[in-house]
Amino acid sequence: MSTVTVFKRAALTTLVVSLVACGAMAPEYQRPAAPVPAEFVAGTKALSGPAAAELPWQTFFTDARLQKLIQIALDNNRDLRVALLNVEQTRALVDSRKADRWPTVNAGLGLTRGVVASGAVTTSISAGLLITSYEIDLFDRLRSQTDVAFAQYLASSEASKAAQISLIGAVANSYFALQADSALLDLAQQTLATREDSTRLIQLRFDKGASSQLDLSQAKSLLESARVSVAQSTRQRLLDVNALNLLLGQAAPPELTAVSAQTSLLLQELPVGLSSDVLLRRPDVVQAEQLLLAANANIGAARAAFFPKILLTANAGSVSSELANLFKDGTFGWSLAPQLLLPIFDAGRNQANLTVAKVSRDVAVAQYEKAIQSAFREVADALAGRATLGEQMQAQQAQTAAETERTRLTELRYKNGASSYLEVLDAQRSLFASQQAALQLQAQSQQNLATLYRVLGGGWAAESAKP
Protein backbone atom coordinates (compact mmCIF):
# COMPACT_ATOMS: atom_id res chain seq x y z
CA MET A 1 0.00 0.00 0.00
CA SER A 2 1.49 3.34 -1.04
CA THR A 3 2.06 6.27 1.32
CA VAL A 4 -0.46 8.37 -0.65
CA THR A 5 -3.17 5.74 -0.23
CA VAL A 6 -2.54 5.51 3.52
CA PHE A 7 -2.72 9.30 3.80
CA LYS A 8 -6.00 9.41 1.88
CA ARG A 9 -7.59 6.75 4.08
CA ALA A 10 -6.39 8.48 7.25
CA ALA A 11 -7.79 11.80 6.06
CA LEU A 12 -11.11 10.20 5.17
CA THR A 13 -11.27 8.47 8.57
CA THR A 14 -10.53 11.76 10.33
CA LEU A 15 -13.27 13.50 8.35
CA VAL A 16 -15.86 10.82 9.19
CA VAL A 17 -14.97 10.88 12.89
CA SER A 18 -15.22 14.67 13.00
CA LEU A 19 -18.60 14.58 11.31
CA VAL A 20 -19.94 12.00 13.78
CA ALA A 21 -18.55 13.97 16.72
CA CYS A 22 -20.01 17.18 15.36
CA GLY A 23 -23.61 15.90 15.37
CA ALA A 24 -26.49 18.26 14.79
CA MET A 25 -25.74 21.95 14.57
CA ALA A 26 -28.90 23.01 16.41
CA PRO A 27 -28.45 23.65 20.17
CA GLU A 28 -30.07 21.17 22.54
CA TYR A 29 -33.62 22.30 23.29
CA GLN A 30 -34.64 22.95 26.87
CA ARG A 31 -38.16 24.07 27.69
CA PRO A 32 -38.10 27.45 29.50
CA ALA A 33 -39.52 27.48 33.00
CA ALA A 34 -43.07 28.81 33.20
CA PRO A 35 -42.87 32.39 34.55
CA VAL A 36 -46.11 32.09 36.54
CA PRO A 37 -47.07 30.93 40.04
CA ALA A 38 -47.25 27.16 40.50
CA GLU A 39 -50.88 27.23 41.68
CA PHE A 40 -54.01 29.20 40.96
CA VAL A 41 -55.30 31.17 43.93
CA ALA A 42 -59.03 31.78 43.52
CA GLY A 43 -61.70 29.19 42.94
CA THR A 44 -59.48 26.11 42.88
CA LYS A 45 -61.70 23.72 44.79
CA ALA A 46 -61.06 20.14 43.76
CA LEU A 47 -63.83 18.54 41.72
CA SER A 48 -64.03 15.10 40.22
CA GLY A 49 -64.61 14.50 36.54
CA PRO A 50 -62.77 14.95 33.24
CA ALA A 51 -60.58 17.99 32.67
CA ALA A 52 -61.88 20.72 30.39
CA ALA A 53 -59.42 19.78 27.64
CA GLU A 54 -60.82 16.22 27.66
CA LEU A 55 -64.48 17.30 27.66
CA PRO A 56 -66.03 17.60 24.16
CA TRP A 57 -68.07 20.72 23.57
CA GLN A 58 -71.14 18.61 22.74
CA THR A 59 -71.03 17.29 26.30
CA PHE A 60 -70.37 20.63 27.96
CA PHE A 61 -72.96 22.67 26.04
CA THR A 62 -76.19 20.68 26.26
CA ASP A 63 -78.60 23.23 24.75
CA ALA A 64 -79.72 21.84 21.37
CA ARG A 65 -79.95 25.25 19.71
CA LEU A 66 -76.49 26.24 20.89
CA GLN A 67 -75.06 22.95 19.63
CA LYS A 68 -76.53 23.60 16.17
CA LEU A 69 -75.12 27.12 16.13
CA ILE A 70 -71.64 25.88 17.10
CA GLN A 71 -71.71 23.23 14.38
CA ILE A 72 -72.73 25.80 11.76
CA ALA A 73 -69.81 28.00 12.87
CA LEU A 74 -67.36 25.10 12.67
CA ASP A 75 -68.53 24.40 9.13
CA ASN A 76 -68.60 27.98 7.82
CA ASN A 77 -66.49 30.37 9.89
CA ARG A 78 -63.89 31.99 7.64
CA ASP A 79 -61.22 32.52 10.31
CA LEU A 80 -61.30 28.81 11.15
CA ARG A 81 -61.21 27.97 7.45
CA VAL A 82 -58.07 30.10 7.01
CA ALA A 83 -56.45 28.39 10.01
CA LEU A 84 -57.15 24.96 8.52
CA LEU A 85 -55.79 26.03 5.12
CA ASN A 86 -52.64 27.26 6.84
CA VAL A 87 -52.15 23.74 8.17
CA GLU A 88 -52.33 22.34 4.63
CA GLN A 89 -49.92 25.01 3.42
CA THR A 90 -47.30 24.29 6.08
CA ARG A 91 -47.71 20.54 5.54
CA ALA A 92 -46.83 21.05 1.86
CA LEU A 93 -43.84 23.16 2.91
CA VAL A 94 -42.56 20.24 5.01
CA ASP A 95 -42.77 17.98 1.97
CA SER A 96 -40.89 20.58 -0.07
CA ARG A 97 -38.11 20.77 2.53
CA LYS A 98 -37.86 17.00 2.69
CA ALA A 99 -37.48 16.89 -1.09
CA ASP A 100 -34.47 19.22 -0.84
CA ARG A 101 -32.55 16.40 0.85
CA TRP A 102 -32.88 14.17 -2.22
CA PRO A 103 -31.29 14.60 -5.66
CA THR A 104 -33.49 16.02 -8.40
CA VAL A 105 -33.29 14.00 -11.61
CA ASN A 106 -34.25 15.73 -14.87
CA ALA A 107 -34.41 14.60 -18.46
CA GLY A 108 -32.32 17.02 -20.51
CA LEU A 109 -31.52 17.78 -24.12
CA GLY A 110 -28.58 20.13 -24.74
CA LEU A 111 -26.72 21.72 -27.65
CA THR A 112 -23.18 23.10 -27.36
CA ARG A 113 -21.42 24.98 -30.15
CA GLY A 114 -17.94 26.43 -29.93
CA VAL A 115 -14.81 27.39 -31.87
CA VAL A 116 -11.50 25.57 -31.34
CA ALA A 117 -8.02 27.02 -31.78
CA SER A 118 -7.96 26.05 -35.47
CA GLY A 119 -11.05 28.09 -36.08
CA ALA A 120 -13.31 25.12 -36.69
CA VAL A 121 -16.81 25.14 -35.28
CA THR A 122 -17.64 22.16 -33.09
CA THR A 123 -21.13 20.92 -32.19
CA SER A 124 -22.07 18.61 -29.34
CA ILE A 125 -25.61 17.34 -28.78
CA SER A 126 -26.46 15.49 -25.57
CA ALA A 127 -29.58 13.84 -24.20
CA GLY A 128 -30.02 11.94 -20.95
CA LEU A 129 -30.61 12.20 -17.22
CA LEU A 130 -29.22 15.14 -15.24
CA ILE A 131 -28.58 15.74 -11.54
CA THR A 132 -27.69 19.37 -10.93
CA SER A 133 -26.09 20.77 -7.76
CA TYR A 134 -27.28 18.06 -5.36
CA GLU A 135 -26.06 18.94 -1.87
CA ILE A 136 -24.74 16.15 0.31
CA ASP A 137 -26.08 17.18 3.72
CA LEU A 138 -22.98 16.48 5.82
CA PHE A 139 -23.68 19.08 8.50
CA ASP A 140 -27.48 18.76 8.65
CA ARG A 141 -28.20 22.13 7.08
CA LEU A 142 -31.04 20.74 5.01
CA ARG A 143 -32.22 18.56 7.87
CA SER A 144 -32.37 21.59 10.15
CA GLN A 145 -34.45 23.41 7.56
CA THR A 146 -36.78 20.42 7.44
CA ASP A 147 -37.05 20.49 11.24
CA VAL A 148 -37.94 24.19 11.05
CA ALA A 149 -40.69 23.50 8.53
CA PHE A 150 -42.04 20.57 10.54
CA ALA A 151 -42.18 22.60 13.76
CA GLN A 152 -43.99 25.37 11.88
CA TYR A 153 -46.45 22.77 10.59
CA LEU A 154 -47.13 21.56 14.13
CA ALA A 155 -47.52 25.17 15.25
CA SER A 156 -50.11 25.80 12.53
CA SER A 157 -51.94 22.64 13.58
CA GLU A 158 -52.10 23.90 17.16
CA ALA A 159 -53.19 27.31 15.87
CA SER A 160 -56.15 25.67 14.14
CA LYS A 161 -57.10 23.96 17.42
CA ALA A 162 -56.84 27.28 19.25
CA ALA A 163 -59.00 28.90 16.56
CA GLN A 164 -61.66 26.22 17.01
CA ILE A 165 -61.62 26.61 20.80
CA SER A 166 -61.93 30.40 20.52
CA LEU A 167 -64.73 30.08 17.97
CA ILE A 168 -66.76 27.72 20.14
CA GLY A 169 -66.34 30.01 23.14
CA ALA A 170 -67.28 33.08 21.11
CA VAL A 171 -70.44 31.43 19.73
CA ALA A 172 -71.48 30.34 23.23
CA ASN A 173 -70.91 33.80 24.70
CA SER A 174 -72.78 35.45 21.83
CA TYR A 175 -75.67 33.06 22.34
CA PHE A 176 -75.82 33.83 26.06
CA ALA A 177 -75.69 37.56 25.30
CA LEU A 178 -78.53 37.14 22.81
CA GLN A 179 -80.57 35.31 25.41
CA ALA A 180 -79.95 38.00 28.01
CA ASP A 181 -80.80 40.85 25.67
CA SER A 182 -83.94 39.03 24.50
CA ALA A 183 -85.00 38.68 28.14
CA LEU A 184 -84.19 42.35 28.75
CA LEU A 185 -86.31 43.30 25.74
CA ASP A 186 -89.23 41.26 27.07
CA LEU A 187 -88.85 42.89 30.48
CA ALA A 188 -88.72 46.37 28.93
CA GLN A 189 -91.82 45.69 26.84
CA GLN A 190 -93.72 44.37 29.86
CA THR A 191 -92.62 47.38 31.90
CA LEU A 192 -93.69 49.72 29.10
CA ALA A 193 -97.15 48.14 28.99
CA THR A 194 -97.49 48.45 32.77
CA ARG A 195 -96.41 52.08 32.76
CA GLU A 196 -98.78 52.91 29.92
CA ASP A 197 -101.63 51.60 32.07
CA SER A 198 -100.38 53.56 35.07
CA THR A 199 -100.05 56.75 33.06
CA ARG A 200 -103.61 56.41 31.72
CA LEU A 201 -104.84 55.92 35.26
CA ILE A 202 -102.96 58.99 36.51
CA GLN A 203 -104.31 60.98 33.57
CA LEU A 204 -107.86 60.05 34.53
CA ARG A 205 -107.19 60.95 38.16
CA PHE A 206 -105.67 64.26 37.05
CA ASP A 207 -108.67 65.03 34.85
CA LYS A 208 -110.93 64.48 37.83
CA GLY A 209 -108.70 66.52 40.12
CA ALA A 210 -107.61 63.54 42.21
CA SER A 211 -103.92 63.78 41.16
CA SER A 212 -101.55 66.67 40.73
CA GLN A 213 -99.68 67.86 37.67
CA LEU A 214 -96.51 66.65 39.36
CA ASP A 215 -97.82 63.06 39.57
CA LEU A 216 -98.79 63.15 35.90
CA SER A 217 -95.40 64.50 34.82
CA GLN A 218 -93.57 61.88 36.86
CA ALA A 219 -95.68 59.11 35.35
CA LYS A 220 -95.00 60.36 31.82
CA SER A 221 -91.27 60.59 32.56
CA LEU A 222 -91.21 56.98 33.75
CA LEU A 223 -93.20 55.95 30.67
CA GLU A 224 -90.70 57.55 28.29
CA SER A 225 -87.86 55.96 30.23
CA ALA A 226 -89.42 52.57 29.53
CA ARG A 227 -89.65 53.43 25.81
CA VAL A 228 -85.95 54.29 25.86
CA SER A 229 -85.19 50.89 27.40
CA VAL A 230 -87.26 49.12 24.74
CA ALA A 231 -85.38 50.91 21.95
CA GLN A 232 -81.99 50.18 23.54
CA SER A 233 -82.78 46.50 24.08
CA THR A 234 -84.13 46.14 20.54
CA ARG A 235 -80.99 47.66 19.08
CA GLN A 236 -78.69 45.54 21.26
CA ARG A 237 -80.50 42.37 20.28
CA LEU A 238 -80.02 43.20 16.59
CA LEU A 239 -76.32 43.78 17.24
CA ASP A 240 -76.13 40.40 18.98
CA VAL A 241 -77.63 38.69 15.95
CA ASN A 242 -75.19 40.48 13.63
CA ALA A 243 -72.23 39.40 15.77
CA LEU A 244 -73.50 35.83 15.79
CA ASN A 245 -73.94 35.86 12.01
CA LEU A 246 -70.30 36.86 11.58
CA LEU A 247 -69.16 33.98 13.77
CA LEU A 248 -71.40 31.52 11.94
CA GLY A 249 -70.20 32.65 8.52
CA GLN A 250 -73.83 32.89 7.39
CA ALA A 251 -77.17 34.20 8.55
CA ALA A 252 -78.28 32.40 11.68
CA PRO A 253 -81.45 30.33 11.20
CA PRO A 254 -84.39 32.30 12.68
CA GLU A 255 -85.56 29.35 14.76
CA LEU A 256 -82.18 29.31 16.54
CA THR A 257 -82.13 33.03 17.36
CA ALA A 258 -85.82 33.55 18.15
CA VAL A 259 -85.16 33.36 21.87
CA SER A 260 -87.99 35.10 23.66
CA ALA A 261 -86.71 34.60 27.19
CA GLN A 262 -83.54 33.74 29.02
CA THR A 263 -83.30 30.09 29.97
CA SER A 264 -81.11 28.56 32.61
CA LEU A 265 -78.58 26.32 30.89
CA LEU A 266 -76.99 23.53 32.85
CA LEU A 267 -73.24 23.74 32.25
CA GLN A 268 -70.96 21.20 33.84
CA GLU A 269 -68.70 22.25 36.68
CA LEU A 270 -65.06 22.01 35.75
CA PRO A 271 -62.42 20.31 37.94
CA VAL A 272 -59.83 23.05 37.97
CA GLY A 273 -58.12 22.31 41.26
CA LEU A 274 -54.88 21.81 39.37
CA SER A 275 -51.46 23.38 39.14
CA SER A 276 -50.62 25.93 36.47
CA ASP A 277 -48.96 23.11 34.48
CA VAL A 278 -52.40 22.59 32.93
CA LEU A 279 -51.65 25.65 30.80
CA LEU A 280 -48.86 23.80 28.96
CA ARG A 281 -51.54 21.71 27.22
CA ARG A 282 -53.37 24.72 25.80
CA PRO A 283 -53.08 24.75 21.98
CA ASP A 284 -51.93 28.38 21.85
CA VAL A 285 -49.15 27.64 24.36
CA VAL A 286 -48.14 24.50 22.45
CA GLN A 287 -48.15 26.60 19.27
CA ALA A 288 -45.75 29.10 20.86
CA GLU A 289 -43.46 26.25 21.94
CA GLN A 290 -43.42 24.76 18.44
CA LEU A 291 -42.42 28.15 17.04
CA LEU A 292 -39.66 28.20 19.65
CA LEU A 293 -38.52 24.77 18.44
CA ALA A 294 -38.53 26.06 14.87
CA ALA A 295 -36.36 29.02 15.87
CA ASN A 296 -34.01 26.65 17.72
CA ALA A 297 -33.64 24.43 14.66
CA ASN A 298 -33.02 27.47 12.47
CA ILE A 299 -29.86 28.13 14.50
CA GLY A 300 -28.61 24.73 13.32
CA ALA A 301 -29.12 25.70 9.69
CA ALA A 302 -27.32 29.00 10.24
CA ARG A 303 -24.38 27.27 11.95
CA ALA A 304 -24.08 24.69 9.17
CA ALA A 305 -23.49 27.50 6.67
CA PHE A 306 -20.00 28.00 8.20
CA PHE A 307 -18.92 24.47 7.24
CA PRO A 308 -17.92 23.01 3.87
CA LYS A 309 -20.63 22.19 1.38
CA ILE A 310 -20.38 19.34 -1.13
CA LEU A 311 -22.36 19.76 -4.35
CA LEU A 312 -22.76 16.96 -6.86
CA THR A 313 -23.56 17.37 -10.54
CA ALA A 314 -23.90 14.31 -12.74
CA ASN A 315 -25.35 13.26 -16.06
CA ALA A 316 -25.67 10.09 -18.10
CA GLY A 317 -26.92 9.69 -21.65
CA SER A 318 -25.99 9.96 -25.28
CA VAL A 319 -23.56 12.49 -26.80
CA SER A 320 -23.03 13.09 -30.49
CA SER A 321 -21.96 15.80 -32.88
CA GLU A 322 -24.98 15.12 -35.06
CA LEU A 323 -28.60 14.80 -34.05
CA ALA A 324 -29.16 11.81 -36.33
CA ASN A 325 -26.46 9.79 -34.56
CA LEU A 326 -27.49 10.78 -31.03
CA PHE A 327 -28.90 7.44 -29.91
CA LYS A 328 -26.69 5.06 -31.92
CA ASP A 329 -24.31 2.55 -30.39
CA GLY A 330 -21.16 4.02 -28.96
CA THR A 331 -22.68 7.40 -28.07
CA PHE A 332 -23.37 6.65 -24.40
CA GLY A 333 -21.43 8.72 -21.90
CA TRP A 334 -21.56 9.94 -18.34
CA SER A 335 -19.91 12.52 -16.13
CA LEU A 336 -19.61 13.13 -12.39
CA ALA A 337 -18.58 16.53 -11.06
CA PRO A 338 -18.39 16.80 -7.26
CA GLN A 339 -17.59 20.23 -5.87
CA LEU A 340 -16.42 21.18 -2.38
CA LEU A 341 -17.21 24.73 -1.29
CA LEU A 342 -15.66 26.22 1.85
CA PRO A 343 -16.79 29.68 2.93
CA ILE A 344 -13.81 32.04 3.13
CA PHE A 345 -15.20 35.53 2.64
CA ASP A 346 -18.86 36.47 2.57
CA ALA A 347 -18.70 40.00 4.01
CA GLY A 348 -20.14 38.72 7.31
CA ARG A 349 -23.33 37.28 5.79
CA ASN A 350 -23.18 33.91 7.59
CA GLN A 351 -22.37 35.53 10.93
CA ALA A 352 -25.23 37.98 10.50
CA ASN A 353 -27.60 35.13 9.63
CA LEU A 354 -26.50 33.25 12.75
CA THR A 355 -27.06 36.36 14.88
CA VAL A 356 -30.52 36.77 13.37
CA ALA A 357 -31.31 33.12 14.13
CA LYS A 358 -30.17 33.45 17.77
CA VAL A 359 -32.12 36.67 18.32
CA SER A 360 -35.18 35.08 16.71
CA ARG A 361 -34.84 32.20 19.17
CA ASP A 362 -34.70 34.69 22.07
CA VAL A 363 -37.80 36.42 20.70
CA ALA A 364 -39.57 33.06 20.48
CA VAL A 365 -38.64 32.34 24.12
CA ALA A 366 -40.18 35.65 25.20
CA GLN A 367 -43.31 34.98 23.14
CA TYR A 368 -43.64 31.51 24.64
CA GLU A 369 -43.34 32.91 28.15
CA LYS A 370 -45.85 35.65 27.31
CA ALA A 371 -48.29 33.03 26.00
CA ILE A 372 -48.09 31.19 29.34
CA GLN A 373 -48.53 34.41 31.29
CA SER A 374 -51.55 35.42 29.19
CA ALA A 375 -53.07 31.96 29.63
CA PHE A 376 -52.51 32.13 33.39
CA ARG A 377 -54.18 35.53 33.59
CA GLU A 378 -57.20 34.31 31.58
CA VAL A 379 -57.68 31.28 33.81
CA ALA A 380 -57.14 33.29 36.98
CA ASP A 381 -59.73 35.87 35.85
CA ALA A 382 -62.26 33.16 35.04
CA LEU A 383 -61.65 31.49 38.40
CA ALA A 384 -62.08 34.81 40.19
CA GLY A 385 -65.41 35.21 38.42
CA ARG A 386 -66.54 31.73 39.38
CA ALA A 387 -65.57 32.34 43.00
CA THR A 388 -67.67 35.50 43.32
CA LEU A 389 -70.44 35.48 40.72
CA GLY A 390 -72.43 32.82 42.58
CA GLU A 391 -72.61 34.91 45.74
CA GLN A 392 -73.36 38.03 43.73
CA MET A 393 -76.19 36.25 41.93
CA GLN A 394 -77.77 35.15 45.20
CA ALA A 395 -77.56 38.67 46.60
CA GLN A 396 -79.02 40.13 43.40
CA GLN A 397 -81.94 37.71 43.46
CA ALA A 398 -82.61 38.57 47.10
CA GLN A 399 -82.54 42.28 46.25
CA THR A 400 -84.98 41.74 43.37
CA ALA A 401 -87.33 39.85 45.67
CA ALA A 402 -87.13 42.68 48.22
CA GLU A 403 -87.77 45.32 45.55
CA THR A 404 -90.77 43.34 44.29
CA GLU A 405 -92.27 43.28 47.78
CA ARG A 406 -91.44 46.96 48.30
CA THR A 407 -93.22 47.89 45.08
CA ARG A 408 -96.29 45.86 46.04
CA LEU A 409 -96.52 47.49 49.46
CA THR A 410 -95.89 50.98 48.12
CA GLU A 411 -98.63 50.64 45.52
CA LEU A 412 -100.99 49.35 48.21
CA ARG A 413 -100.16 52.30 50.48
CA TYR A 414 -100.70 54.72 47.58
CA LYS A 415 -104.12 53.26 46.84
CA ASN A 416 -105.02 53.76 50.52
CA GLY A 417 -103.66 57.31 50.54
CA ALA A 418 -100.75 56.51 52.87
CA SER A 419 -97.96 57.15 50.32
CA SER A 420 -97.31 59.66 47.56
CA TYR A 421 -97.07 58.65 43.93
CA LEU A 422 -93.41 59.67 44.01
CA GLU A 423 -92.72 56.72 46.31
CA VAL A 424 -94.52 54.39 43.91
CA LEU A 425 -92.47 55.63 40.94
CA ASP A 426 -89.23 55.30 42.90
CA ALA A 427 -90.10 51.72 43.88
CA GLN A 428 -91.00 50.80 40.29
CA ARG A 429 -87.78 52.36 38.97
CA SER A 430 -85.67 50.45 41.51
CA LEU A 431 -87.46 47.19 40.77
CA PHE A 432 -86.90 47.55 37.02
CA ALA A 433 -83.18 48.26 37.54
CA SER A 434 -82.84 45.27 39.88
CA GLN A 435 -84.58 42.96 37.40
CA GLN A 436 -82.29 44.14 34.62
CA ALA A 437 -79.22 43.56 36.77
CA ALA A 438 -80.38 40.03 37.64
CA LEU A 439 -80.82 39.11 33.96
CA GLN A 440 -77.43 40.55 33.02
CA LEU A 441 -75.74 38.80 35.93
CA GLN A 442 -77.25 35.47 34.92
CA ALA A 443 -75.78 35.86 31.44
CA GLN A 444 -72.45 36.93 32.93
CA SER A 445 -72.36 33.78 35.07
CA GLN A 446 -73.01 31.57 32.04
CA GLN A 447 -70.43 33.41 29.98
CA ASN A 448 -67.87 33.12 32.77
CA LEU A 449 -68.24 29.34 32.95
CA ALA A 450 -68.06 29.07 29.16
CA THR A 451 -64.93 31.25 29.24
CA LEU A 452 -63.39 29.06 31.93
CA TYR A 453 -64.04 26.03 29.72
CA ARG A 454 -62.32 27.80 26.81
CA VAL A 455 -59.26 29.09 28.67
CA LEU A 456 -58.64 25.63 30.15
CA GLY A 457 -58.39 24.26 26.60
CA GLY A 458 -61.92 22.91 26.32
CA GLY A 459 -63.49 22.62 22.89
CA TRP A 460 -60.92 20.39 21.29
CA ALA A 461 -61.09 16.63 21.68
CA ALA A 462 -61.30 13.64 19.38
CA GLU A 463 -65.09 13.71 19.50
CA SER A 464 -65.24 17.42 18.73
CA ALA A 465 -63.19 16.96 15.58
CA LYS A 466 -65.85 14.75 14.01
CA PRO A 467 -68.47 16.39 11.77
pLDDT band at 59; cut points 50, 70, 90: confident
Q: How far apart are CA 358 and CA 101, in angstroms?
A: 24
CA distance 46 to 286: 25
Burial readout 175-197 (b: 16 or more C-beta within 10 A, e: otherwise): bbbbbbbbbbbbbbeebbeebee
Instruction: Identify the domain containing residue 123 by its residue range.
Output: 102-136+308-342
**331 and 353 share one domain:** no
Amino acid at site 202: I
Residue 139's pLDDT is what?
A: 86
pLDDT at position 24 = 61
- Higher confidence at residue 259 or residue 240? 240
Instruction: Give the three-class secondary structure for 28.
Output: coil
Task: Tell me how far the alpha carbon of residue 142 is from its chain's centroid.
Answer: 30
Q: How far apart are CA 459 and CA 53, in angstroms?
A: 7
Here the CATH number for the domain that contains residue 227 is 1.20.1600.10
Q: How much is the average pLDDT of 306-319?
A: 87
Candidate ranges 55-69, 167-181, 263-277; pick with highest mean pLDDT: 167-181
CATH code of the domain containing 123:
2.20.200.10
- Which pLDDT tens digit goes with each residue over 436-454? 999 999 999 999 989 988 9
Could you give the number of structural domains in the chain? 2
Enumerate residues 6+ apart whose C-beta is below 8 A from 465.
none
Looking at residue 12, its pLDDT comes to 44
CA atoms within 13 A on the CB side of 191: 29
What is the predicted pLDDT for the residue at 210? 80
Check whether residue 427 and residue 325 sit in a common domain. Answer: no
Q: Is residue 156 domain-shared with residue 173, that is, in the same domain?
A: yes
Task: Read off the pLDDT band of 466 (50, 70, 90).
Answer: very low
254 within some domain: yes
DSSP state of 269: -
* Residue 55 confidence (pLDDT) above 50: yes
On whether both 71 and 127 belong to a single domain, the answer is no
- Looking at the predicted structure, is the pLDDT value of residue 149 above 60? yes
Of 342, 365, 396, which residue sits at a domain end? 342
In this structure, of 5-9, 105-109, 208-212, 395-399, the range with the lowest mean pLDDT score is 5-9
Nearest to 90 by CA among 159, 176, 40: 159
pLDDT band (50, 70, 90) for residue 21: very low
Confidence band for 11, pLDDT divided at 50, 70 and 90:
very low
pLDDT of residue 7: 38
pLDDT in the model for residue 459: 83
Q: What is the dihedral of CA 162, 165, 171, 177, to 10 degrees?
A: -100
In a domain, 397, yes or no: yes
Mean pLDDT check: name the lowest of 21-30, 156-165, 269-278.
Answer: 269-278
- Give domain status of residue 7, yes or no: no
Q: What is the mean pLDDT of the chain?
A: 84
pLDDT in tens, 369-383: 999 999 999 988 888
Is the pLDDT assigned to residue 292 strictly greater than 90? yes
Domain identity same for 391 and 354: yes
Average pLDDT over residues 50-66: 84
Both 29 and 151 in one domain: the answer is yes
Residue 265 lies in a domain: yes
Cα(339)–Cα(78) distance, rounded to whole angstroms? 50
In-domain check, residue 9: no
95 with 84, same domain? yes
CA neighbor of 32 nearest in space, from 322, 295, 344: 295
pLDDT in the model for residue 1: 47
pLDDT tops 60 at residue 242: yes
Beta pairing partners, 312: 134, 338
pLDDT for res 245 = 95
Q: Of 295, 318, 342, which residue sits at a domain end?
A: 342
Q: Are residues 147 and 124 in the same domain?
A: no
124, pLDDT greater than 60 = yes
Q: What pLDDT does 14 receive?
A: 39
The residue among 226 and 62 whose pLDDT is bigger is: 226
- Sign of the four-CA dihedral 292, 293, 294, 299: positive
Q: What's the mean pLDDT in 238-265?
A: 83
User: Is a pLDDT exceeding 90 seen at residue 329?
Assistant: no
| Residue at a domain's end among 319, 342, 365 | 342
Who wins on pLDDT, 40 or 42? 40
pLDDT of residue 290: 95
327 vs 260, more confident: 327
Residue 231 pLDDT > 90, yes or no?
yes
The answer on 127 and 51 residing in a single domain is: no
Query: 47 with 119, same domain?
Result: no
Residue 391 lies in a domain: yes
Judge whether 63 lies within some domain. Answer: yes
Q: Give yes or no for residue 271 having a pLDDT over 70.
A: no
Comparing 326 with 426, the larger pLDDT belongs to 426
Confidence label for 22 from pLDDT (cuts 50, 70 and 90): very low
Report if residue 429 sits inside a domain. Answer: yes
pLDDT at 259: 64
Of 168-177, 343-352, 436-445, 454-463, the least confident: 454-463
**More confident: 128 or 246:** 246
Same domain? For 42 and 107 the reply is no
Comparing 22-36, 293-307, 361-375, which segment has the lowest mean pLDDT?
22-36
Distance CA 11, CA 13 (A): 5
Beta carbons of 132 and 104 less than 8 angstroms apart: yes
Cβ atoms 61, 67 nearer than 8 A: yes
For residues 145 and 284, state if they share a domain: yes
Amino acid identity, position 54: E
